[in-house]
Amino acid sequence: MARFEASLARASARCGLLAQSDADIISQACARASFDSTALARDAREAGTLAIAFVKALTAQVAAVSPEAARYVHFGATSQDAIDSAVALCLRAAGHRVLELAREVGDALAQLARQHRSTPMLARTLLQPAAPVPFGWKAAMWLAPLSRSLPHLRAALAEACVLQFGGASGTLSAFGERADALSLALAEELGLERRVTWHSARDGFARFGAEAALITGVVAKIARDITLLMQAEVGELAEPAALGRGGSSSMPHKRNPALSMLALEAAHRVPGLAANLLNQLDPEHERGLGQWQSQWLTLRELAAASASALAAMREVLGGLHVNAAAMRSNLERSNGLVYSEALALRTSRALAERLCAQALREERHLLEVVRGDAEAARLLSGAQLTKLFDPERSYGGAEQMIERVLSDWQRARESAL
């Protein structure tokens, strides 16, 4: 808010609305101003807005230097101008940090996709074994929604972080014919895009909230998968180890997925925060009662939660331990049943179901059962069988999908710089 008031004074001087000397005094006072936060909070509660208490305290500090300059503190502006513009400045800084973290998460995923494009693992559908896939493909499937989300988040941030300047009722009535020039000068001083008054149009913040919640959910999906693959009986992935991380107060052997937990807990909070912003789209007339006043706290919590989730996953993915041997072992533990789709496609569904049932009943490897079946022998040669039970022969279009996602990510990354 001090930046807003200093910029307003400088912009007003540029437009001939006050002397440059008075603008300099206000600007200097804003730069060195200090406040009793407890007193401000108490006064803000009485006044109904922090801006009134803030402007009163700031005016007193300017008056101590120049009573004449103090007359022009906050001149022609309204409380919502100061607060909304201040929120836009704060959110811009926080949002850029969120974007930076999202890019780092995406880069780590892209590296995993490249590095493990041929590492076989077991896909799971409905939490049950499905078919072999490369781990690099799984990492690419984590990356794909992030590639789609990043440009939307950047655009929403740009739409949310704009100048609010409308004066008492929204028309800048105090400035007459110089209103347009002043709003342009103020936008330039603050480095914010200029828009028409949005006192009662809260769609920008709501849109940012929705996109921030969405990207937090995207990384929470990654965290959920990692926690499942990190279970001791699976053992395919592990978060990077660090002294004191993931321990238990009662069980010394524990290595809990503490970082993934941070992403998951944040993802449980952000939908409600985003819903708060969506629920604040109906202010009364030109300035609402109770809607925009609650957005400052909501946006702060939302940005912090998104950043927390992204920062946690950046650290996880940057040091993720991939146990390729465990991945292959879990594939083999299925006794070849994960190749049942390939078998059915090359013979018949009825035959594949009969052979799978036999393998389960006799607790034998499906390949062994197939080799001993006369009907299957007529349909498949030995070489064909070997290929059929090779995990890398089951990848289908995974390689092409990985490349497409990596290409999409590069474009999304560049667009969000």
* 233-284 tens-digit pLDDT: 999 999 997 765 555 555 556 578 999 999 999 999 999 999 999 999 999 9
Strands (E), 155-272: 162-163, 193-194, 237-238
| Cβ–Cβ under 8 Å, residues 112 and 320 | yes
Beta strands 128-134 and 120-125: pairing type?
Answer: antiparallel
Cα distance between residue 377 and residue 330, in whole Å:
27
Cβ neighbours of residue 16 closer than 8 Å, sequence gap 6 or more: 178
The two three-digit tokens of residue 366, written as one number:
């499906």
Whose tokens are 């109770």? That residue is 290
What residues are paired with 365 via a beta bridge? Answer: none
Output the CA angle 412-413-416, nearest 5 degrees. Answer: 85
Distance CA 347, CA 350 (A): 9
Annotation marks residue 371 as catalytic: no
Q: What is the DSSP letter of 118?
A: T
User: What count of other Cβ atoms lies within 10 Å of the Cβ of residue 135?
Assistant: 23
CA-to-CA distance for 332 and 74, rounded, in angstroms? 72
Domains of the chain: 1-75+165-196 (1.10.275.10), 81-164+199-328 (1.20.200.10), 337-388 (no CATH)
- Gap between the Cα atoms of 293 and 52, Å rounded: 13
Helix extents (H) in 118-192: 135-160, 179-190
Q: Which entry of 21, 248, 329, 407 is annotated as an active-site residue? A: 248
How confident is the model at residue 290, as a pLDDT?
86
Residue 357 burial (10 A CB sphere; 0-12, 13-18, 19+)? exposed
- Bridge partners (DSSP) of residue 194 are 163
Q: Where are the alpha helices (DSSP H) in 48-78?
A: 50-63, 67-70
Q: Residue 226 and residue 216: Cα distance in Å, rounded?
A: 15
Annotate 149-184 with b (16+ C-beta within 10 A) or e (fewer). Answer: bbbbbbebbebbbbbbbbbbebebeebeebbeebbb
Q: In this predicted structure, what is the pLDDT of residue 396?
A: 93
Distance CA 64, CA 268 (A): 49
- Cβ neighbours for 182, distance < 8 A, ≥ 6 positions apart: 11, 12, 15, 17, 165, 172, 175
What is the reported pLDDT for 382?
87
The segments of the chain whose pLDDT lies below 70 read 243-254, 416
Distance CA(108)–CA(157), nearest Å, equals 23
pLDDT at 293 (0 to 100): 87
Residue from 163, 170, 155 nearest 189 by CA: 163
Token representation of residue 213: 């919640």
Name, in order, each residue with C-beta under 8 angstroms of 149's C-beta and a sequence gap of 6 or more: 102, 211, 214, 215, 218
C-alpha angle 228-231-237 in degrees, rounded to nearest 5: 75
Active site residue: 3, 14, 178, 287, which one? Answer: 287
pTM: 0.92
Please answer whether residues 165 and 147 qualify as being in contact, where contact means their C-beta atoms are separated by less than 8 angstroms.
Answer: no
219: alpha, beta or left? (left if phi > 0; alpha if psi -120 to 50): alpha
pLDDT at 291: 84
Instruction: Mark whether 248 is an active-site residue.
Output: yes
**Predicted local confidence at residue 72, as pLDDT:** 96
CA distance 237 to 317: 10
